[in-house]
Each structure stands twice: as C-alpha cells, then as structure tokens.
Chain A
Amino acid sequence: MDGWLLFEITLAGVGTGGLYALTGLAFVLIYKATKVVNIAIGEMLMLGAYLFFSFAAGLSLPIWLAVPAALLLSGAFGALVERSIIRPMLGESPISSFMVTVGLASILVGLVELIWTADQQRLPEFMPAKHIVIGQAFVSPKIFYGFWTAVLLIATVLLLFRYWRGGVALRATASDQAAAYSVGINVPRVFSLAWVAAAMIAGVAGIVVGSIGGISSAMGVFGLSVLVVVIFGGLDSVLGALVGGVIVGVIEALTGFYVGGEYKLLATFTLMVLVLMVRPYGLFGTHEIERL
C-alpha cells in the first residue's frame, strides 16, 4: 500500500471534512441554543453563497468588501428567520420546529430561483490557486484554506463560549432555559444571537463551498451530508462538529477512492445508522434524559 497515496487521500478527506465541520458548526449553534434541528442549513449556506455572488460578480465589489457585506446580510436574514418563524414555534414539539425548517428550506430554494434563476454559476476566484505540497502529497488549495477557516472559526466559538458573557449565556440557555430566565439572562436575545451567528457561519461555508463546486439552487443538498456529521459528533457539541466532520470526510474520501465514488453516500449514511444504533447521542453530545 502506497503510504503517500493513503496520506494524500486522507488529507483530501480532512479538507472536505473541514467544510462539513464549518456547516456542522452553524447547525450545532442553532441546536444548542434553540433545540431546533435546522434542515435548512444547506439552504442558508446557499443564500450566503448567492449573496456573495451578487456582491462580487453582480456589483463587482472587491472581495474584501463583498465577503463582509454578504455575511452581514446573511446574519440579518438569520435574525429575521428567528423572529418570524422560529420564535412562534418555541413551545411546540421538536417535530413541528423541524418541519418549519423544512418549509424554510423550500422557501429559500424558491426565492433563490426567482431572483437568480436555477442556472449553475461560478463564483469569482479569490483563493490562491497553487497546490500545497506536504512531502509527496498534494493538497488542493481551496479545501486547505477552507479547513483552516473552519478550525479558526470553531476555535473562536469555543473560546467565546468559555470567556465571553454572550457565550456563557448561550451555554446556560442551552442547558436549562427556565434557569437561564431566572438568573436574568435575556433568553430571546440569546436565540437571536445564535441564529445570527449561525447564519453568518453558514454564509462563510457557502462562500467556500461555492468557490469549489460552483453555486446553484440545488446546493442545499450539502446539508444532508452535514446531518451525518452532527449525528456522529453530537447534535449540540461544537467540538463534535469538527471531529465528526473530519472523520466523515476521511471516510468519504477513502470510500470514494478505494471502493468507488458512487458508494460515498451509502457509506456515510450506513455509518450514521450504525452510530444511531450504538451511540445515538454521538461522540460528544449530551445524553438527554427523558422524564415523565
């Protein structure tokens, strides 16, 4: 077995895993704060990519302007969604809030098709194009930088959770909403914060994913693979999103190379079923205890 080949494929997998981890981070933030399984995370990612596309290609803004503009608008959109759609569903069953995000996904896809049509587009290139060489292994530049963006963001979020008031408030709300209210935490503000942050992170993911594979109104299907990642890592664990993302990415890459590209989805979803049977709360997720 060629060691460098294996290493190269693993690196490719780790890189893709970074993309999954980034999207998984956005998902976990929402679940942690509002206990909503947001299946529309892929579509929010798509919105971020399209906003960047409008600013960078449509209005021809320079990259350093287009990216913050796209992220700001994504964040605003996240706040809007939280206020109008998620807030009214707060007391309802998790199935209802899940279905609401299903509806949201449909609305987003339709909106994108209305405004930008369903054609595939390419984002302007802004990342360096040279392959990075590690020993005898080549790594694609886009996923290399995408991976480090993911690590950076996850590290930032973990630090914020530890040391910033807002982060601590979010963790408090996540663990016990009623107690958070009683110690004076503005819980609705925490919800908004979580959704805005998640939308912005999804926007970053969208820009990275879009610059690799192009953008189209069908981009949201990326969110389904992220589901595997968060189940594996734990629905409410930020670190789990990174670890899960990397592991799923590596498994996908190895399956794709040694078995065949058509088996990738099968492999990851079978893994997910196994995880659900053996350890449903994932590697780092909190075990939910059901009380009567």
Chain B
Amino acid sequence: MKRYIATRLGQGLLVVFGAITISFVLASMAGNPIDARYANISPAARAQLLHQYGYDKPLLERYVSYVGGVAHGDFGPSIGSPTGALTRVAEALPYTLILVFAAMATASLIALASATFGAIRRGSRIDAWVRNGFVALQGIPEFFAGLVLVLLFAVVLGWLPSFGATGPASYVLPVIALSLPLVATLTRLLRSQLLDVLGADFVVALRAKGLSERDIVLRHGLRNAGPPLITYLALQLGWLLGGTIIVEVVFGIPGIGSLVVSATRARDMAVVQAIVVVVAVGYVLFNLFADLAVRAVDPRVRSAT
C-alpha cells in the first residue's frame, strides 16, 4: 500500500512538473507583462520594472530560477499587489473549494436519488420524464443558468443574495448553477452502471432468494456501481477546480476562477502560473484519493494491485 501511494505520488510529481513547465512556457510566449501593462512608458521606467520583476534575465535563467522558487513555495511577486502570487491564490482557493465540493455533493445526492429511483422503476413513465428532464438541464450553459437564477431568486423574489461569498445563503445560487450540468451526467452514469449490475447473474440469484428489487439496488447494486462513479467524481472534481470561472465571475465569488480572469487581464502572469500549478496539484491529489477509495471499496482492485 505504501509503495502504491509512493508510486502514485511520484507520478503526480511528474505531472506537476509538467504543469509548471508548460505554464511557464505559455506565459513566456505571451510576452512580458510590463510591456503589456505599460505600453510606451519611458525607457528608464521600463528597465526598472523589468528588473524589478525579473524579466530582464534570459529565458533559461528565469526558468531555472522559477522552478527553484516553486520548489520553495515562491511563485514570484504579483504585479500590482504587495503579496506574493501564491498568497493571492491561497486566499482565493477556499472559496473555490467550498463551491466545488458543495456543487459535487449536491449533484451526487440528486444523482444518487434519481438514478436509484430510475433503476428501481426502470421503464416507467416517471423514469422517462426524469431522464429527459436531466438531458434538458445538461444543455443549459452555466452563464445562462446563473443569470436566470439571480433574476428569479434575487431580483424578483428577493430570497437570496445576488453576489458575493458573504455566508451560506450566498452560495446557494452558484452551487445550483454549477451542479445542474453535473446532475444529468452523474445520473446517466450511475443509472447505466446500476442497470449493468442488475443484469448480472448474481442478481438473478438474489431475486431467486426472494430479495426485493429495492434491497438489491440499494445493498448490492450501488456498491458494485461505486468504483466507476468514484473515478468519475474525482475527474470531475479536478475539472471543476479549474472550471468555476464562469460561475465565479457571474456571482462575484472571489475564488481562483475570478482570480485567473483578473490576473490574466492585468497580465499578472505569476498568479496565472500559480493557479495552473495549484489546479494540477488538485487533479493529482483528487485522482490519488479516488484510486485509494476504489481500492477500499472494490476488493478485486486491492488484490490486483
């Protein structure tokens, strides 16, 4: 087990190193932020600013210095802010994590309930309505969903705040907007897994033994359908971590999605690179946890690895 974890972490480090390199190369290709922010300033001011932020050094030297700094947790200074790039990301990250986990939990609970219902009542009219309803939900863009939710629940009804991350109530609408597209996909995945399991020979035996369909689905079906779902959830978590931009901007949530937009506009490339690396680390960790969870749930995986 320890060797398994160490191997996966080693692989993860390679992934993170790749993210560091790729983000550095892409940021360098965009040109130096001083010229982008302050076109045509005096040569003296330009030289001073380039030196201050290290852009007067050769590319390879900057890369080596950057990698060395990252190894010590230093992603460089943030342009226009007195704090370092990693500090800014660290301040923003909790808001995104709250949003992401809340959205994933909400989507998972709804998907679990609807997929279980769909498996038990498969083929019924209600099952068809629910499935078609979720397909429609999946087609709604987050931007549109967010604005409609704000208009309805904040402007017209006045039930919830329209923006910000000031308390639990302010997360309700963004969590709904973020989870809507997930619900449909999760429901379809879980339902198809359940139906696969329900078609297996051992389930025939269970039915022959006299177990109710409800017990079969809840006690045996879900457990067998679990591993692929856990893997999918882990991938989705990683995707969500980097994919909350639209919802955060619409709702004014000061997470890493909003931060990457403002940093890109301000050409604060140190912050952008720090976000890329943090998201990469998130991907690696979520995948590792998913693998460990699958090992815990599925004995076949434990014995194979």
Q: Do A and B bind each other?
A: no
